[in-house]
Amino acid sequence: MSIEKIIGIGRENSNEWERRTPLVPADLKTIIDENNCRVLIQPSKLRIFTDHSYLQAGAMISETLDKADLILAVKEIPVEFLHGKKTYLFFSHTTKGQSYNMKMLLHLMDLKCNLIDYEKIVDEKNNRLIFFGRYAGLAGMIETIHAYGKKLKLQGIHTPLEKIKQAYQYSSVEEAKVHFESICNDLRKEGIPKVLGPVVFGFAGYGNVSRGAQEIFDLLPHNDLSPTELAKNFSSLTSCNGTLFKIVFKEEHMVTPKNGKFVLKDYYDSPKNYTGKFSSWLPYINVLVNCIYWTDEYPRLVTEDFINQHPNGKLSVIGDISCDIEGSIEINYKSTYPDNATYTYLPAEKYFKDGTLQNGVTIMAVDNLPCEFSKESSTEFSKVLKEFIPPLLKENFNLSFEKLQLPAPLKRALILHQGQFTEDYIYMKKYLQKENS
């Protein structure tokens, strides 16, 4: 008979809005019933599912998880809650060298821990298998349109968009969608003031996050155009009948090769061979929804210099769902929470001010958007994660990396094994060296 393993589920500590959980009670019960394991869960008054619901599923409430073999959370676990020689699963936010998590990473190494990052659980084509991305897109799109409707109202331009609430003010995604369908009818009836000209929403990226954002946007009356069609036909476009315009930008629209033709794989492998050209599209866009993966090797979409040089440009709101601080959107200078979701950059003054303002470029920068639909996003995430738990319970992490029998997606996501970087993550040593320099 196999040795009984213990699963620990950590309490989310990042902020009062973080109510998600990696495993919901129903899935946890299935795991307990089908595997030789026990479950300890830290108590939480914020978690979207109550402690009692986990007790009913068969878990035990425990303030400490030091007896657990496998410890799960959604976001980073504070250093003081880490224990030696454990296997951890969470979004570590370390693989880009995020300085704020290097202390945690070093501590995991000192404790000889194993670290698996959800973000790196991918298939052979590098497609992510477990993610909150769709819900980031859903909530981010709602927040972005809410900000745009509010900004127009401050400018004295009234549209049905000003009726859209913030994502967390809807009880569910379904309630939000029903409201958006009502807004769609109002847009068709009332139209959009001619003074706005064509109202263009640009989506940077086309992955899970972007698809979630488009799922919401597509509930509104709109026409789809390619970037080329947008530029060619812009002068003849009109939104007076309530029709918005949707443009999806792919990599080839964002950069141009310094030599030769654009090749997607070459761009990902050698981004320094390319220069950014996204600014050429900005004069056509009212609202930019940023959904791309970005590191500092890649060109930016929106630079501070461009905004400063075009203080009265068409770009009004940026929904930075990706939310890399001073990253692809350089004027994203801080992340926000749902109760204060936006701030505005005023290029004439080169100054930031919290909130959605009449002038300037307003940025929506909530960095944990899925928490605005905590129950639904946790349920969908858990449904996928539960399938990875049995092989993790069976694995003997005391073996060498080569002898581990983990499924390939999990093995690809193993950043630390016994406190050491696995081969795919050795590059991260440079971040630790930089942090200690």
pLDDT in tens, 168-189: 999 999 999 999 999 999 999 9
Q: How confident is the model over 247-264, as a mean pLDDT?
A: 97
- Mention every residue, 6+ apart, whose C-beta is less than 8 A from residue 380: 134, 135
User: Three-state SS for 315?
Assistant: coil
> CA-CA distances (angstroms) from residue 294 to 68, 213, 219, 326?
35, 18, 28, 11
Residue 368's closest CA among 332, 330, 325, 321? 321
Residue 111's closest CA among 87, 75, 95, 90? 87
- Specify the CATH superfamily of domain 5-130+374-436: NAD(P)-binding Rossmann-like Domain (3.40.50.720)
Segment holding 38, helix H or strand E: strand 37-41
Phi, psi at 275, each rounded to 5°: -120, 150
Q: How confident is the model over 116-138, as a mean pLDDT?
A: 96
Segment holding 116, helix H or strand E: strand 114-117
Examine the pLDDT at 355 and tell me if it is beyond 60. yes
Q: What's the pLDDT band for 137 if we cut at 50, 70, 90?
A: very high
Segment holding 115, helix H or strand E: strand 114-117
CA dist., res. 269 & res. 349, Å (int): 39
Residue 23's closest CA among 52, 57, 68? 57
Go through 223-262 and write b for each residue having 16 or more CB atoms within 10 A of its CB, e for each that does not: eebebeebeeeeeebebeebbbbbbbbebbbbbeeeeeee
**Type of residue numbered 386:** K
Alpha helices in 234-281 (DSSP H): 251-254, 264-269
Question: Cα 409–26–78 angle (5° rounding)?
Answer: 60
Q: Which residues make up the CATH 3.40.50.720 domain(s) of the chain?
A: 5-130+374-436, 133-372
Output 56-62 pairs: Cβ under 8 A, ≥24 positions apart: 56/25, 57/25, 57/26, 57/28, 57/29, 57/32, 58/28, 58/29, 58/32, 58/33, 59/9, 59/25, 59/28, 59/32, 62/8
CA dist., res. 253 & res. 116, Å (int): 34
The listed CATH number (3.40.50.720, 3.60.70.12, 3.50.40.10, 3.30.499.10) that belongs to domain 133-372: 3.40.50.720
Please give the structure tokens belonging to residue 256: 């141009």
Computed over every residue of the chain, the mean pLDDT equals 96
Residue 365's closest CA among 311, 325, 306? 325
Q: How confident is the model over 186-208, as a mean pLDDT?
A: 96
Examine the pLDDT at 70 and tell me if it is beyond 70. yes
Strand partners, 201: 246, 287
For the chain, how big is the Rg over CA atoms in Å?
23
Examine the pLDDT at 236 and tell me if it is beyond 70. yes
CA dist., res. 104 & res. 11, Å (int): 16
Examine the pLDDT at 437 and tell me if it is beyond 70. no
Q: How confident is the model over 385-414, as a mean pLDDT?
A: 98
Contact 43, 8 (CB under 8 A): no
Examine the pLDDT at 1 and tell me if it is beyond 70. no
Q: How confident is the model over 140-149, as a mean pLDDT?
A: 98
